Amino acid sequence: MAIKKIAILTGGGDCPGLNPVIRAVVKTAITKYGLEVMGVKNGYRGLYLGELVPLTLENISGILHKGGTILYSSNKDNLFDYPFEENGKIVKKNVAHVGVENLKKFGVDALIVVGGDGTLTSARDFSRLGVNVIGVPKTIDNDLYSTDFTFGFDTAVGVVTECIDRLHSTAESHHRAIVVEVMGRYAGWIALHSGVAGGADCILIPEIPYDIDKVCEAVENRKKQGKQFSIICVAEGAKSITGEISVMKVIEDSADPIRLGGIGAKIAEDIEKKTGVESRATVLGHIQRGGTPSSYDRILSTKYGATAVEMIMDGKFGNMVTLKGNEMSYDTLENVIGNKTKTVDPNCELVRIAKDIGISFGD
């Protein structure tokens, strides 16, 4: 089919690099192929409500360095399981056909969906309905299957590293152990990379169950060496050797209902009780997801966006753009989505090197 008009949608949590992806899509589509481009506002909710707006070279000018997404986002609007209130009760309905009709109404020939596992699951499902879909992986957690790196990860690691740098001085001044809790869900990529880059003394990740006594041992060993402070970088999904994880709350109407949190405070409390070292916990939270994308993420986002448009023109629908080594490639959405999460190999090179230089993983 002849492609004349495409649209782009950003879903799920915001992430540094989304705007550079949008910019690259618009510039490539218009400059190289002479296409029209529409933006779907507010994720899949905007697709349901028909909130599509023109994207031009003028209105994407100046967004390369900006965090967030000019199209906005939502992580609660699964059109295949959409909530409605009826007779005072919430019921779920499949309204995906409305989204398909709106794409036809606006004359959209192909849709680029930028998001994480939940957003791309719906992209796969729309592909099954016959929509010409190209997926672009987005998550600071770097845990999406089939791609080496996702944009936003490098920026998040940089933010966490800077925060750890700042915490070193206050920890040393007060002879404290400071626990830094970072994002990552069930993958320890952010904690591992920022912990090594920031000089953490202990790194706790979901892939290596920790023994709190081993963590305390690392803190006490530093005291014996004359180091009166310690930095512990812990992923929010870190689990103990007994299998426990810390859940902050459960949000029933979310595609990802379990909200992890609280592990930092728990580790800090345990360290203080067992060692007598005054301990504090710092939760970095959404600061890791906001702000200006790094130069690496701007380049990577640009490559993802441009490649997505090229894949449309090549008719490679139903696929997700991937990064393999230094080359852009792709994999099917059917293969990407499911029970596959890219996690840290406990025996990988970076873990081995971290242990070689004396970083404890609590194991």
**Residue 255 scores a pLDDT above 90:** no
Q: Is the pLDDT of residue 251 over 70?
A: no
Question: 253: helix, coil or strand?
Answer: coil
Rg of the chain over all Cα atoms, to the nearest angstrom: 22
**pLDDT of amino acid 202:** 97
pLDDT of residue 85: 84
The backbone torsions φ and ψ at residue 102, rounded to the nearest 5 degrees and listed phi first, read -65, -35
The domains of the chain are located at 5-151+293-325, 155-289+345-356
The topology (CATH level 3) of 5-151+293-325 is Rossmann fold (3.40.50)
pLDDT at 339: 61
Q: Give residue 358's identity as a one-letter amino acid code.
A: G
- pLDDT on residue 249: 66
**Is residue 34 scored above 90 in pLDDT?**
yes
Q: Is the per-residue pLDDT at 271 higher than 70?
A: yes
pLDDT at residue 185, as a whole number: 85
Distances 145 to 52, 334, 341 between C-alpha atoms, Å: 30, 11, 6
Residue of 77, 141, 143, 297 marked active site = 141
Query: Is the pLDDT assigned to residue 24 strictly greater than 80?
Result: yes
Measured in whole angstroms, the distance separating CA 333 from the mean position of its chain's CA atoms is: 17
Fold adopted by 155-289+345-356? Rossmann fold (3.40.50)
- Strands 230-235 and 177-182 turn out to be parallel
CB 155 within 8 Å of CB 65: no
| Mean pLDDT confidence for 291-300 | 96
Mean pLDDT in residue range 284-299: 93
Structure confidence by residue, pLDDT tens digits, 171-190: 989 999 999 999 988 899 99
DSSP-based helix, strand, coil % in the chain, nearest 5: 40, 20, 40
Q: How many residues does the structure list for the chain? A: 363
**In the chain, beta strands by DSSP E:** 5-10, 36-40, 52-55, 82-86, 89-93, 110-115, 133-137, 177-182, 202-204, 230-235, 247-250, 258-260, 279-283, 319-324, 327-332
204: β partners = 234
DSSP string, 120-168: HHHHHHHHHTT--EEEEEB-TT---TT-S--BTHHHHHHHHHHHHHHHH
Asked which of 99-103, 122-126, 142-146, 210-214 is least confident by mean pLDDT, the reply is 142-146
Contacting residues for 3 by C-beta, under 8 A, at least 6 apart: 33, 35, 109, 110, 312, 313
Q: 253 falls in which pLDDT band (50, 70, 90)?
A: low
Q: Is 141 a catalytic residue?
A: yes
Q: How many helices (H) and strands (E) does the chain have?
A: 11, 15
Angle CA(257)–CA(261)–CA(343) in degrees, nearest 5?
75
Residues ≥6 apart with Cβ < 8 Å to 292: 16, 65, 66, 67, 155
Is pLDDT at 197 greater than 80 in this prediction? Answer: yes
Terminal Cα-to-Cα distance of the chain (whole angstroms): 56
Show the tokens assigned to 24: 């690259």
- Weakest mean pLDDT among 81-85, 203-207, 247-251, 348-352: 247-251
Given this model, what pLDDT does residue 37 score?
Answer: 98
- For residue 256, the model assigns a pLDDT of 65
Both tokens assigned to 87:
């007779």
CA torsion sign for 74, 75, 76, 77 is positive
pLDDT: which is higher, 13 or 57: 57
Structure tokens at 167: 């915490």
Summarised one tens digit per residue, pLDDT across range 325-346 is 989 999 999 999 876 789 999 9
Average pLDDT over residues 93-118: 96
- For residue 76, the model assigns a pLDDT of 81
Mean pLDDT (the chain, rounded):
93
pLDDT at 356: 96
CA dist 150 and 147 (Å) reads 7
The percentage of the chain sitting over the pLDDT mark of 70, rounded to a whole number, equals: 97
pLDDT attached to residue 341? 86
Whether 155-289+345-356 and 5-151+293-325 are alike in CATH topology: the answer is yes
Q: Binning pLDDT at 50, 70 and 90, where does residue 84 land?
A: confident
pLDDT higher than 80, residue 129: yes
**pLDDT one-digit tens code per residue, 301-330:** 999 999 999 999 999 999 999 999 989 999
Q: Per-residue confidence at 254, pLDDT binned at 50, 70, 90? A: low
- pLDDT of 112 > 90? The answer is yes
Are 21 and 28 within 8 A, CB to CB? no
**% of the chain beyond a pLDDT of 90:** 83
Q: Is the pLDDT of residue 252 over 70?
A: no
